[in-house]
Amino acid sequence: MAPQESSDQALNQIEQMDQKHVFGTWSYQSEVEPTQIVEANGVRFTDSRENTVIDFSGQLMCLNLGHSAERVEDAVTQQVSEAEYVSPSYTTEARAKLGKKLADVTPGNLTKTFFSTSGTEANEAAIKIARFYTGKEKILSRYRSYHGATYGSISVTGDPRRLASEPGIPGTIKAPDPYAYGSTLDPMESLDYIDEMLALEGDTVAAVLVEPIVGSNGILVPPDEYLPRLKEIAHDHGALLICDEVMAGFGRTGEWFGSDVFDVTPDIMTMAKGLTSAYQPLGATIVTDEIADHFEDNMLTHGHTYAGHPVACAAGLAAIKTYEEENLIERAADIGRYLEDRIEDLADSHPSVGDTRGVGLFRGIELTQHPERREPFGEREDKVSKGSTVLDEVTATAYDEGAYVANMINTLIIAPPLTITEDEIDEAIAALDSGLSVSDNAMS
Ligand code: PLP
Query: Is the Cβ atom of 120 under 6 angstroms away from ligand 1?
Result: yes
User: Which residue owns the Cα nearest ligand 1 atom 1?
Assistant: 147
| Cα of 223 from ligand 1 centre, angstroms | 23
pLDDT per position in the chain (444 positions), as tens? 445 444 456 899 999 999 999 999 999 998 899 999 999 999 999 999 999 999 999 999 999 999 999 999 999 999 999 999 999 999 999 999 999 999 999 999 999 999 999 999 999 999 999 999 999 999 999 999 999 999 999 999 999 999 999 999 999 999 999 999 999 999 999 999 999 999 999 999 999 999 999 999 999 999 999 999 999 999 999 999 999 999 999 999 999 999 999 999 999 999 999 999 999 999 999 999 999 999 999 999 999 999 999 999 999 999 999 999 999 999 999 999 999 999 999 999 999 999 999 999 999 999 999 999 999 987 655 445 556 789 999 999 999 999 999 999 899 999 999 999 999 999 999 999 999 999 999 998
Q: Alpha-carbon distance 16 to 401, whole Å? A: 25
- φ, ψ dihedrals at 231, nearest 5°: -60, -45
Helices 422-441 and 390-400 cross at an angle (nearest 10°) of: 140
How confident is the model at residue 386, as a pLDDT?
55
What's the half-sphere exposure (Cβ side, CA atoms, 13 Å) at 421? 5
- φ, ψ dihedrals at 406, nearest 5°: -80, 145
The count of other CB atoms within 10 Å of the CB of residue 222 is: 24
Query: Is the Cβ atom of 159 under 6 angstroms away from ligand 1?
Result: no
Query: Is the Cβ atom of 124 under 6 angstroms away from ligand 1?
Result: no
| Contact assessment for residue 363 and residue 356, using Cβ atoms and an 8 Å cutoff | yes
User: Which residue owns the Cα nearest ligand 1 atom 14?
Assistant: 119
Whether a cis peptide bond, with omega within 30° of 0, leads into 167 is yes
- Ligand 1 atom nearest 248 alpha carbon: 3
| Contact assessment for residue 283 and residue 119, using Cβ atoms and an 8 Å cutoff | yes
Query: Is the Cβ atom of 146 under 6 angstroms away from ligand 1?
Result: yes
Pick from 256, 276, 334: nearest CA to 72: 276
Beta pairing partners, 375: 370
Q: 316 Cβ partners below 8 Å, 6+ apart?
A: 94, 98, 101, 275, 276, 280, 282, 284
- Ligand 1 atom nearest 123 alpha carbon: 10
How confident is the model at residue 7, as a pLDDT?
47
Pick from 243, 247, 214, 251: nearest CA to 108: 243
How confident is the model at residue 382, as a pLDDT?
46
Query: Is the Cβ atom of 215 under 6 angstroms away from ligand 1?
Result: yes
Query: Is the Cβ atom of 247 under 6 angstroms away from ligand 1?
Result: yes
Identify the three-state secondary structure at position 283. strand
| CA 281 and chain centroid, separation | 14
| Contact assessment for residue 94 and residue 308, using Cβ atoms and an 8 Å cutoff | no
| Cα of 153 from ligand 1 centre, angstroms | 9
Q: Is 294 exposed, middle or buried (0-12, 13-18, 19+ CB in 10 A)?
A: middle
CA dihedral 394, 400, 401, 406 (to 10 degrees): 50
Identify the three-state secondary structure at position 362. strand
The model's pTM is 0.96
How confident is the model at residue 409, as a pLDDT?
84
Q: What angle do CA 403, 409, 412 make, to 5 degrees?
A: 25
| Cα of 147 from ligand 1 centre, angstroms | 5
| Cα of 123 from ligand 1 centre, angstroms | 9
What's the half-sphere exposure (Cβ side, CA atoms, 13 Å) at 336? 24
Q: Alpha-carbon distance 135 to 369, whole Å? A: 48
Query: Is the Cβ atom of 280 under 6 angstroms away from ligand 1?
Result: no
How confident is the model at residue 378, as a pLDDT?
76
- What ipTM is given for this predicted complex? 0.99
